[in-house]
Structure 1
Amino acid sequence: MAMVERFDLLFSLGKFDQCNLLIEKTTTMGDNLKNQWIVSCNMISSQFMSTYVKDNISDVKTKPNQQYIKEQQTIISQIRSAPLNMAQLQLELSALYNLCFIRIQTENVGCLYDHQFLQIIKETLIRVIGQQDWRHCGLHQDTTELLFLALQQAHDDRILSPLVSLCCLWIVVNCRQTKTDSVMQLVDKCVTLHGLKNLELPPLTLLPLSLILTGQHYIDTPSVTDIVYMTAGIVYFRKEDSKAKEYLNQIESPEFKGYTAYLKACQDYYSENYVEVLTTLAIDHTDMTSRLKALHCHLFGLALSKLEKHQCAIQKFREALEHDFSFLLPLYHISLEYRSLGMTLAELESLNLLSTALQNGDTKPTDYSQDMFTQITHETNGEVTLCQVLYTLACRCSQLNMYEDASQRYLDLLVYLNDTSAIQISGNSLVRVPRIQSIYFEAIKCLHDAKNYNDCVAVCDQVLSCLPSGSQNSSFSFLNQSEIDQMSCDTSLTGIFDINDIEPDQLEGASSQEGSKRKRQHSAESKRKDTECDSDAMVLLYKADCFVLLDKIETALQCLDKYVGKIPFSDDLGKGTRPQQQIKRRRLDSSGEESSQLKDTLPVNDLQKLASSVYCHLGVAVATRGQNKDALHFLRISLRLNQDALYNHAVVLWKDNKRQASVDWCQGRDIETVSDSFHLSGLLRQKQNKLR
């Protein structure tokens, strides 16, 4: 068996170390230049693949890949220096393809848009075009256009195989950069080429493009035809479903069948054809990895869930976990199915298990730029992060009034957010996480509701140290917008318009609108500052309320002193006025609340309600110390913000032997005390006993 054939066999089997030994044993100094180029390129390819397979992608970048790239560029330069013929063009295109492959896998995809590197690609393509009809081509032309021209002029089968592989690689690069529209014509040209099945493979071994398409290197290398159809199917995926399915259906390689079935099922799922999803995925395929089997079961479960077959969906999600437990997204969807079934404890147990698995597991975040299949199916199989799970678990516990559990999850989440070495917020796009500032405010409220006042005060202090009115010594600032955008899952779209799109009449009125635009900008800036002040005030109020409930009145008063200038008093509430239709006699129910159908409907914002509650608690706490005068002062502040404190105010007046004042105060708020005096007296006595 010839050395090249033995090398190809060992390379396809993934025995790259043996490839290196074979080259070292059979290489002689007497070989001609062509053989030396082939041997050198194959040596680089086998060494690169040996390193790539043994190490993960992040480690590969630290290996001597720059040395591989330099050696490959040197070989290309040597080939170009020799007299031009088809055999040399075949080697040059093959070496150029391998060079692009190595750079894509070891560097950022954008490296191929580097000006100097583009020059290398264009020079080779111009040589291919010029060899056919000596057409004048320049380096100023677009690379995609040159590739298209090269395909049109390439009639020799010897250069067609590496040229088509190079085109597919360029198409993949543009798809990763979301520049799919620019290469559609090139895709269609590759698909319409004749004779791809019988192409002669070059003597120089091409690196497997399947590694970029699906992330796998196969023993039986897929044909050039299947590579082209797979590339075309990926390009048209979720853009033109009919074309994508047409190309995917023509793939014959069994190694690709599992991937094509999943892609077709995904398109049906997005089109809400859930029965078609079940039909497509019901067919068993060989040569599927454990991860691909898990993906099939997971998508099958999603379709069953949409058909409201929740128990069957749970079973499929469990099968997915059995195939690959490092793929934890099915466990999250199991919790959603339990929620749909109303099984709250099972739902929380699933989320807790998922949280534990993410904390203790050795799972690494998926790099969605590794292969195109993973990238384009990210919406259905994107991994959830620990941040997303902790936030979901905290919210669910809070919604179920399980404040103790919710507060603990919020604390775990805050600890995770402050561990900047391991933080990863963005994950599956279907699981939303708000801005970090909102998470902190939710945590403060939950800790307060859970009566975990000491931890609530600690979190308030951390927030106040980051807000503009606080000190700027914290390394974690909420209002650093770039940091917020980087760490938040929420995205915002900004509209961009061209001045040429504006109508003439709009341009005429532009100058007159300039002043109003400035006013709007000033108004937006003012609104932003008001929001910051509200955030500062809210945190101070929660902190003060915690100190009141911890019986640290003096410390609470110090917090309220910082807030007193920001009290949003309502003039209507202060004067006790209300719309004419609301002036009715109101009666008290057995719990001391007003009847719901007769409640005052004046708008009171959340900040007013919170401030009213804090001052009400403060008034009650001071009243228990016998300081009725101070208690009345705080309760009247509470009343000006929200009338819910009316009853405590009346009780304090009653306790201070100002019974007529208590009755007058109630009558002034349209509460009938004559016909219902016995009920009112009992209520006030009950409140008085609580204050003792």
Structure 2
Amino acid sequence: MPSNLVDRWTEENNKVAKKWKEYETHQHPIQDIRKHCYTEYLKLQQKVQGVPAQTGHLKLEIAVTYNTLLFALTYGTPSETKDCITNILIRVLDAVHKQVPGHDLVTLWHVVLKTFCGTVYEPWVHKLLLIQWAVWLSEQHYEEILHLLQQVTHKEQSTASGDLLAETRNLTISTEEDTSLHVALATKDLKELLHVCTFISHGVEQIKGEKYIDALVALQEASTQPSPRALLAHVHMLTGFCYSKLQKPQSALQCYRKALEVDFNCHRALYESSLVYRQLGNTNAEIEALHLLHSAIMLHAESDPSNPSTNLITPDMLLGSEQISFTYQIPSSHHILHTLGNNCVLNNRTSEGAEYYLDLLACLQSDSKQMPMDDSLSLPRIPVIYLEAAFALLKAKRPWDTLAICDEVLAKTVDLIPERLLITPCGTVSRELVPFTLEADAPEEKMECVLWSGAAYLIQGQVHFQLKDTKEALTSFTRAISQIVKVCVKQKIKDQEVEREPADHTVMVLEALKGKALKLRAVCFVERGQLKEALRDFQLSLQATPGCRNTEMWLVEIMWRLDRKQEAAAMWTQIINSTQSSIPTELPLYLQTWHEDPTSFDTSSLKRKMEEFIQNGLVTA
């Protein structure tokens, strides 16, 4: 082939490589530069491979193909990349008149590496080897990588250790460059990235297999390799993850701290830190970690998306989508806000919790972009989130905001509830995040609507009670009770006896809601001096939630006030001597009790009265 043609193609190769280097250093940014360079190298490759393969231009052909493949890892299909590698291996064998063994890549590599070992072309063949390593690593083809590296170190498969980590650690290949033939990515840089990513990939596979000790060995190797800051941060994060699984929380936290010191954008380290703090019972630290995580996510979302990474080969490409999703995965910003709000409300940081819930409601109402999300984590349904927000605002003594949010729930649910609803327990209801516009065709879905609307009325009643408006409070509590009594739980006949089926959790929560609404209404009656009505509601509340000690104490108190002291004392004695207690129902956040709940009852005064009455022998047999 004429030397002037080789010179022209060499110049074209170097021109495209220079253009990419200028882009990398931000000296001459060009729109869509990656695709442009890939197209230019494809054209040049077609020219070079349009003539018979010869040793005279073999280095040029390998350099052009190497550059083409670098961009093909982003823009080419897997089959195109495989064909390109196969084709160049066949051509290098043709150039030295070596018989081609076939098109199987493993076999081709065996012959190529053996043929060019110790020759001037070996460093150039190694460039192609690094590309093959990158392709197989992205596909998690560890056995093929192991065999490839064994060929480089001249180990026969039968005597090889079979240890990919050891082969990678001990691999030595030439990374020298020819200054006359430019490449888009230096061999040394690609080799270093492949080393660290191979260790990480192996570590992630061990983690997925719950082999955390083996994973730590691989990650320790990765931490000693030259690597980008972001990648090193994720190595520390994965190391911490292993320690956490091995029940070493303090070691895990140290690793997460290292990860954040290296790169604060390692969001997974913040999230995993919050989980460790939760495990340790350090709620304040958990909240702080989640707050920092949410702030970091929001800052990342607001960054300029039009400024992509200038790295030609990224760790994301080498580790593969499945491993990257495991390594980088965090909950959505919505889930983080919900966890923050929930934790704050449950730990008496009520004002903060209310603000987090308001932020969450604003996000749900907007079209804000979702972050990568862990599929194992799901938000409660939207009406539940609204009710939790209302409860938080109630605790924070923001009555008008609370009423407005409850009105939102009622506007979407009340009209969907029939006058009477027949339910068979143990029904299943979808729990996914659904739009607030509900279509409650299924009986179980209608029952959820009853629960949500009843809870909304209940919270509104507590707001009015908080505002000292007992008349409006009574109205709201009555509406809550009216909603709940629409539900009729189906019973079945078995052996001529009525046997109630095991209660669905929603049915149990409805009963708890009914008991709470009746008790709150009874307290309103107490405030208004209507003791007989209060006594009735306390008795009905106790029927809905048997064994509730607080309600029983209220009953004793009201009996005493109604001058039914003998009954009060008898009931007191029965309560004190009773060893039975109610089976607690796991209540949603919005139905839980807090220290300012109007139904809270101080038993000290009642205890004094009862003990004095009994000790004075005023109780009749």
Q: TM tier, shorter chain? A: 0.5 to 0.7
Task: Say whether residues 1:550 and 2:463 are aligned partners.
Answer: yes
Structure 1 residues 343 and 424, CA gap change in structure 2 (3 angstroms)? closer
Q: How does 1:42-191 map to 2 (within 5 A)?
A: 42-54=14-26, 63-87=32-56, 90-105=59-74, 107=75, 111-113=76-78, 123-124=87-88, 127=91, 135=100, 146-154=104-112, 155-156=115-116, 157=119, 161=123, 163-176=125-138, 179-181=139-141, 184-191=143-150
Matches within 5 A, 1:491-570: 532-551=445-464, 552=472, 553-554=474-475, 557-558=478-479, 561-566=482-487, 568=489
Q: CA deviation at 1:173?
A: 3.8
> Among 1, 4, 7, which residue is 1:35 paired with?
7
By how many angstroms is 1:609 displaced? 1.0
> Is the CA contact 1:86–1:158 (under 8 Å) kept in the aligned structure 2?
no
* SS of corresponding position for 1:32: helix
The AA in structure 2 aligned to 1:638 is S
* Alignment CA distance shift 1:149-1:323 (3 Å): closer
CA positional deviation for 1:118:
5.8
Give the drift of 1:613: 0.5
Displacement of 1:533:
4.0
Distance 1:197 1:292, change over 3 A: closer
Q: What is residue 614 of structure 2 aligned with on the other side? A: none
State the 1:535 CA deviation. 3.3
Contact 1:317 1:331 in 2 (8 A): yes
Q: Percent identity?
A: 19
Q: Structure 1 CA distance, aligned partners of 2:66 and 2:193?
A: 14
The change in CA–CA distance for 1:615 and 1:204 in structure 2 (over 3 A counts) is farther
Cα distance in 2 for residues equivalent to 1:468 and 1:99:
64
CA distance in 2, matches of 1:86, 1:447: 78
Secondary structure of 1:76 counterpart: helix
Residues 29-77 of structure 1: CA distance to partner in whole angstroms, max 9, x if unpaired? Answer: x97222222222222223234334539xxx98x6243333322222222
Quote how far apart the aligned CAs of 1:545 are: 0.5
| Cα distance change of structure 1 residues 461 and 184 upon mapping to structure 2, 3 Å threshold | farther
Partner of 1:437: 381
- Cα separation, partners in 2 of 1:117 and 1:341, compared to 1, 3 Å: closer
Post-superposition Cα deviations, 1:300-352, rounded to whole Å, max 9, x if no partner, equal 87899899998898777666655544446666677677778876656655655
Q: Distance in 1 between matches of 2:329 and 2:479?
A: 48
1:615 matches 2:518: yes
- Find the counterpart in structure 1 of residue 352 from structure 2: 405
Q: Please report the RMSD computed on the Cα atoms of aligned residues, expressed in angstroms.
A: 5.9
Shift of residue 639 of structure 1? 4.1
Q: Deviations over 1:407-427 (max 9, x none)?
A: 333333343444433432527
- Indicate if the aligned counterparts of 2:134 and 2:318 stay in contact, CA closer than 8 A: yes
1:194-233 maps to which residues of 2 (within 5 A)? 197=173, 204-208=181-185, 221=188, 233=199
2: CA distance, partners of 1:279 / 1:325: 21
> What displacement does 1:198 show?
5.1
TM-score under structure 1 normalisation?
0.55
Amino acid of the structure 1 residue aligned with 2:140? T
The verdict on how the C-alpha distance between 1:404 and 1:624 changes in structure 2, with shifts beyond 3 A counting, is same
Cα distance in 2 for residues equivalent to 1:320 and 1:233: 17
The answer on whether the counterparts of 2:556 and 2:568 sit within 8 Å (CA) in structure 1 is no
Which shows bigger deviation, 67-76 or 322-331?
Answer: 322-331
| Structure 2: segments with no counterpart, 5+ residues | 155-171, 418-428, 435-440, 465-471, 493-497, 500-505, 578-604, 611-621
Would the alpha carbon gap of residues 124 and 397 (structure 1) be closer, same or farther in structure 2, given more than 3 Å must change?
A: same
d(CA) in 1 for partners of 2:198, 2:372? 33
Q: Which runs of 5+ in 1 are unaligned?
A: 1-29, 138-144, 211-220, 242-265, 472-477, 485-527, 572-576, 579-602, 684-692
Could you tell me whether the CA contact under 8 Å between 2:521 and 2:534 is conserved in 1?
yes
Residue equivalent to 1:509 = none
What residue in structure 2 maps to residue 370 of structure 1?
316
Query: Is the Cα contact below 8 Å between 1:93 and 1:124 reproduced in 2?
Result: yes
Residue deviations 1:194-244, cap 9 Å, x none?
A: 58745885764333277xxxxxxxxxx3596x6776665455445589xxx
In 1, Cα distance between the equivalents of 2:528 and 2:398? 24
For the 8 Å contact 2:522–2:538, the answer to whether it is kept is yes
* DSSP-derived class of the 1:435 partner: coil
Cα pair 2:381 2:431 within 8 Å, conserved: no
User: RCO greater where, 1 or 2, for CA within 8 Å and sep 6 or more?
Assistant: 2
Verify the 8 A CA contact 1:387 1:413 in the aligned structure 2. Answer: yes
Map Cα deviations across residues 464-495 of structure 1 (whole Å, 9 max, x no partner): 77789869xxxxxx9696x78xxxxxxxxxxx
Superposed, 1:227-626 pairs within 5 Å as 233=199, 236-237=202-203, 270-271=212-213, 291=230, 321-327=260-266, 348=287, 352=291, 355-356=294-295, 359=298, 370=316, 372=318, 386-387=333-334, 389-424=336-371, 426=373, 433-437=377-381, 440=385, 443=389, 446-447=392-393, 454-460=400-406, 532-551=445-464, 552=472, 553-554=474-475, 557-558=478-479, 561-566=482-487, 568=489, 605-621=508-524, 624-625=527-528
Maintained 8 Å contact 2:137/2:145: no
- Three-state SS of the structure 1 residue aligned to 2:519 is helix
**Cα separation, partners in 2 of 1:170 and 1:151, compared to 1, 3 Å:** closer
In 2, the alpha carbon distance for the partners of 1:613 and 1:153 equals 80
| TM-score for both structures, normalised by structure 2 | 0.61
Q: Which residue of 2 aligns with 1:598?
A: none
Quick check: 1:130–1:136 contact (8 Å CA) kept in 2?
no
State the number of aligned residues.
511
Task: For residue 608 of structure 1, report the CA deviation from its aligned partner.
Answer: 1.4
Amino acid at match of 2:9: W
Shift of the alpha carbon at 1:391? 4.3
Letter in structure 2 aligned against 1:565: K
Give the conservation status (yes or no) of the 8 Å contact 1:469–1:536: no
Partner of 1:193: 152
